[in-house]
Amino acid sequence: GESVGLHLPTLSVQEGDNSIINCAYSNSASDYFIWYKQESGKGPQFIIDIRSNMDKRQGQRVTVLLNKTVKHLSLQIAATQPGDSAVYFCAEISGSARQLTFGSGTQLTVLP
């Protein structure tokens, strides 16, 4: 079946640097995408979302980019902080049931 996946399972960045987490999706019918952050021992926490009719959306220190031509989604975190260390999942929503499908996740580690 169709799936959402990530290019890199782990990412280490220096504190203060920018982070970029990538995600490839294959369901061209998906019309809504979400990035979730999951810290150890906690449930996934919503970070930012983007509709398929947009190519960029900015939040506080985070930006999501969507390239529908190559079915690619990315999350940019500016001035990465120790509290940003977590697993990041991209997820897509499609169909009338609005079912959420998660990608495989990227472990972000922020180095001091």
Partner 1 sequence: DTEVTQTPKHLVMGMTNKKSLKCEQHMGHRAMYWYKQKAKKPPELMFVYSYEKLSINESVPSRFSPECPNSSLLNLHLHALQPEDSALYLCASSAVGLAGANEQYFGPGTRLTVT
Binding residues for partner 1, rule CB under 8 A, total 25
Specify the stretch interacting with partner 1 by CB under 8 A; choose among 19-27, 58-66, 73-81, 92-100: 92-100
Beta bridge partners of 93: 32, 100
Query: Which of 45, 58, 81, 109 lies at the binding interface for partner 1 (CB under 8 A)?
Result: 45
105 binds partner 1 (CB under 8 A): yes
**DSSP string of 74-106, one letter each residue:** EEEESS--GGG-EEEEEEEEETTTTEEEE---E
Query: Which of 42, 60, 69, 112 lies at the binding interface for partner 1 (CB under 8 A)?
Result: 42
**CB-CB contact of 61 with 78 (8 Å):** yes
46 binds partner 1 (CB under 8 A): yes
